[in-house]
Structure 1
């Protein structure tokens, strides 16, 4: 899997771009290496989102995180048939118990 960050505002991110790419790649690799997960039957994108959000929370719980995975399935794509499917899964995470106030 190739991971790229395009047109994002990674300069505002709690993680540097390179570290974020590494975090996502490590999460994906751990899914592939897990023998108990059947990648052909389970929703890999949801599992990946969960892993990425867990790692981001470990990095810092001061932020709100939104993770989105878009999957393009081209199994039915050939010269005679232009069928494909596109799926997008989204997950979010934040620490609801932490409230930040500015006292003036």
Structure 2
């Protein structure tokens, strides 16, 4: 069973915010961090939306496969049950017919 998940997309948090940067050094970024963020943020959001859509499609397919497997299993069980019922009914009819033939033969002879 799938469970819905809430993912926080914005605002982006720095995962290293509790500690200092990797070794306490500041890095010089060119172009500016704002420009880098301005270019990467839309790509990151697109990828996260795409990932959510792919996961949703995969979950839908898995749910369909599970439903079809359950339906197939139920159909096989019903087929087995009805085949047994048919065979018992047919065997009962054959037995009844044999008893009638025997009873008729006893009456005649």
Calculate the TM-score normalised by the size of structure 1: 0.25
Structure number with higher strand proportion: 1
Larger relative contact order (CA 8 Å, sep ≥ 6): 2
Structure of higher CA gyration radius: 2
The structure in which a higher percent of residues are helix is 2
- Give the TM-score normalised by the residue count of structure 2: 0.24
